[in-house]
Structure formats: structure tokens, C-alpha cells
Structure 1
């Protein structure tokens, strides 16, 4: 068990590079718990992988594209490939969940399988997410996740993940309508938003303007503001500050850097400005956050940690 919150690394297109438990097996599977005292955020990101999350206990705020939802115990979500998503804890509420992140390549045993059963449902016009519930067919996904985390054999865990993944995708393919192959305007807007997000994530430590953010998405300032409001529920400036705070949290929990060093490393003009902003957003000082959060979380990895050789 470890107390961790992995720093997001990205490809040139801004998509997250998932750090799999076993680098030679494209799946990240973890059971996580956060106490009511733990403030937990995962900023907006996207990846090629499918993401399955199921709440065991407590509540979690989860966002996919412009949709926001509160997930309660017994509920979950399946996020499609390359969809913008984020989540954060709810003040005063604990949360425990299973999360499996699976690259579609695990399901592509042949080119025919990929083109027939996966590609049609992974495109931009297909579903963004599926709510998981025991009241409809998605109970199949919940059952498979529970079986993996509660009743799997460590000796054959990768095979069991493959087996479960095929059963899950079979259910999705049977129940989700295949969309027409057209390009919708919403896909273009999401593309612009992703470009602006990527610009902020690459330059958050610098002084950047609204004009520069809008230019990165090839849109005007007005549309820029509308897209941030739609997909992040924030203004571009608010998102920049939010992202800086999230990066500072990574440094608070992963390094021994001082508050002053962290403030300058994340784009704040001074340590006092950083501390004031952090307190306004997180409800405590950076130093108190560092001390309070260290023992209020744990992660259990379903797949044993292995090196690049799979050992």
C-alpha cells in the first residue's frame, strides 16, 4: 500500500501517458481510499485508454466533457477513449473506489476485431461515458470489476483482466448503438479546448495571457471563455490558477521543496500570493495540507509492480 498521486505525463497531443503497473501490460488497476479529511483532485486530462471507476463507499464528483455528476456508493462510470475527464473529492466525504484503466490494444487480438468491434465505438461521435448501475445492463461491468478486485488469483491476474475486459466490451458492443461516421461541431470545439488546456499545462509556470490561451485553440477570446465555462466550469484565468495549485499539490506530496520554492516553480509571483491563493482554494495553508494529507489515503495495486521486462 502506498500514499500516492501520480504526476500526469503527456504525449505531444496533450493526452496522458498512463503509467501501467506492468509496463508490458497496458492496464492500470488500483483500489483507492481517501478519508473525509483528504482533499483530492485530478485535473482535466484525457488518454487513449478506457477508464472504469466504481464507488465502493462514500461519494466522488466526476466530470466528463461538459457533464458533471456525483457518484455514490454502488455507482460508477465508464469513460470512453480520449474524453476529457476530471474528478475531485467532496468536502467532508470519504471515498473508496476501484479504478481500471485499460488500453484498447489489449482487446485487439486481430485487425478485424479492432476495426469491427472497437473502432466504431471509440470514435468522437460515440458515447462519452456510461453511468454504471445495478439497475440496468451495466451491472455486468460492476460485477467484473468486483470479481477482479475481490476474488482474483494473483498468479493469473493479467489473464483474468483480459478475460474480464473482453466480457465487458462484449456487453458494451451489444448494448451501445454504433454512431454514424460524421464529424460534429462539438468534436471540433473539444479539439480547440484540448489545445488550450495543453497550452496551459505546458506554460503554467510562466505569465500567460487570455489572448495566448485563445490563440492556442485557434479561437477568439469570447469563444475561449465559453469553452472553458462549458468543459471546465471555470474561466481561463481560474483554470490557470486551479492548475497551478494542482501542480503545487504534486510537489507538496512528492518532494521536500519549500513553500517558497514551490510557489515559483508553479508560476506564482511570490510565496505569500501562493499561500493566500492555496488557502482560498483548499481551505488550509500549503504546509498544513502537506502534513494533514500524508496519512489520509492509500492505494492498493491489483497488478504487481513490475519493471520494463515484466518482472
Structure 2
């Protein structure tokens, strides 16, 4: 299992990149230590792959367009395919360890169009209301699934038959999740059309954050009106387009501060935040420290 302290994204997007995935084995297992992530959170992003996890320690908050869900130690769940989400620890000082199975739905569905895909996989992955399936140990049925998830991380890739045993374990977990999720699948969820619009608008911001961006330009990228743009950002990310632009610029600045030696003035302009004085002001409000203090902290952590 790979220890993870940061995630990678496809260029110009917030779709997570999984460099360990192989075409013949679209799966990876990781131990995510969120308290060691830069800024102690994972920003808004999405991925086609399913995220199945167990909280070993700490307490974590997941946010999706549908709302927020808290996962204390001993709980777990699944983030569905292509769901926008962000995550952050609930306590500043506590150790936060999360075990994750990340896999393409085809890993258990088999060939596209198969009976297994149609009957058991697509009904979940295509359900916009099933953003997150949360599991808590207080419920006996959910506790059983959690135990199966935790035990599945004990499988070793060095064991004979590992690949088959892993697919069997994940298929068993999936079937249990499918069984308890039937009432959820009957509910009405956020339309896929809205989901596609917000991603298109986000990608526009990610590609043009260094320039001046108008609401009209963001809306036009998704063939929407300005009013629709405001509604989609509010419904999906719970913030305005302007707030998202500012937040993304500051997140980019954090990344540059931690991973480069560029001057503060250069970074402020490169991120579309203008003058150094304005940058220092908004950065302190965002990160709780100055840009230089942030750079010293995270470059020291990398060392």
C-alpha cells in the first residue's frame, strides 16, 4: 500500500491523475495521511474511478454538491464515479489516516455492456443522488461491510492469486453496498447536466486563472447565462464564481510557494492576484500566515 501526502491532477483540470494505474489492472491502494497534506485538505476534484475507504484514525469531512458528511475513525464509505468532492480533517493536531481502494468500475464490471455492469454497477455509478455512500459501525449491517473493507486491505500483492482475491473482495463489498443503497437509488438527485456544467466552468477557471476572468466568460464556456452560472456554483460548490476564482488562485499560489523558489511578486502576478500588498493581505486571510511563513513551513516538511 502506497503512502500518500498529496494528489496529482490532469493538466488544466481538477480530475485526479492516477499514475500507478495500469491498463490491464485499473486499481491502486493507498494510505492517505491527510494531516500531512499541503494546507491539510484536498481541494475540489473528481475522478472516474470509485473511491472506497476506511478511516483508521482521526475524523474527516467530505464535501460534495449534496452537502457534507463526517467520517470518524472506524467509519468509511464510497465516493462514486465522477463525483465532485473535497476532503479535510476535522482537527488540527490529530493524526488522520485513511485507507483507500481506488478502482475503475470496469475492474469488477468486466467487459463494457456486460450483464454484471448493467445489473449491479451502472445503477450505482450512474445515480447522481449516490454521491457518497456512508457507513458507520453503530449500524450492524454497515459494521459488517466496514469490517469487510478493512480486512480487504490485508491482501498482499505478493500472495498467489492476489488479483483474483482482490476483485472477489471488492465485488463482495460492492454487492453489499448495492443491497443497502436501493432506497437511495430511488431518490431524485442533482442532474448530470448540472454536474457537467460545473466541471466545464471549473476547467475554464483552471485554464485562465492567471488572466482577468469575467462571469460572462465562465458562463459562455458551458453555454449558460450568468444567472445560471451563479446558480450552478451555489448548488454544487456552495460558493460564488468569484469566490471560487479567488480560492483557486490562492491554492495555486500555495503550490508554487511550496514547490518553487520563485519570488513572491512573481507568484502573486502569475496566479492572477495582482500586487504584492494585495497578495499578502488575501493570503494571510486564507492561510493564517504570510506567504514566506507558508513557504518555510511546507518546504521544510518536504525536506
TM more than 0.5: yes
Separation of aligned partners in 2, 1:296 and 1:90: 21
Separation of aligned partners in 2, 1:3 and 1:109: 28
Match of 1:307 in 2: none
Summarize deviations over 1:284-304 as a string: whole Å, max 9, x none: 12222233235669xxxxxxx
Alignment of 1:43 onto 2:43: yes
Conservation of the 8 A alpha-carbon contact between 1:53 and 1:76: yes
Match of 1:113 in 2: 116
Match of 1:75 in 2: 75
Match of 2:259 in 1: 254
Give me the TM-score of the superposition, normalised by structure 2: 0.83
Match of 1:304 in 2: none
Match of 1:18 in 2: 17
Report the 3-state secondary structure (helix = DSSP H, G, I; strand = E; otherwise coil) of the residue aligned with 2:97.
strand
Change (3 A) 1:140 1:2: closer
Match of 1:223 in 2: 228
Report the 3-state secondary structure (helix = DSSP H, G, I; strand = E; otherwise coil) of the residue aligned with 1:280.
helix
Summarize deviations over 1:114-149 as a string: whole Å, max 9, x none: 222212221144522111211333334422332243
Q: Larger deviation: 216-225 or 163-172? A: 216-225
Conservation of the 8 A alpha-carbon contact between 1:210 and 1:221: yes
Report the 3-state secondary structure (helix = DSSP H, G, I; strand = E; otherwise coil) of the residue aligned with 1:78.
strand
Change (3 A) 1:109 1:44: same
Give me the TM-score of the superposition, normalised by structure 1: 0.81
Change (3 A) 1:205 1:141: farther
Separation of aligned partners in 2, 1:271 and 1:97: 38
Change (3 A) 1:106 1:295: farther
- Deviation of 1:217 after TM superposition, in Å, equals 2.9
Match of 1:132 in 2: 135
Q: What do you get for the CA RMSD once the two structures are aligned?
A: 3.1
Summarize deviations over 1:215-248 as a string: whole Å, max 9, x none: 2233322332232222212111111111112222
Match of 2:59 in 1: 59
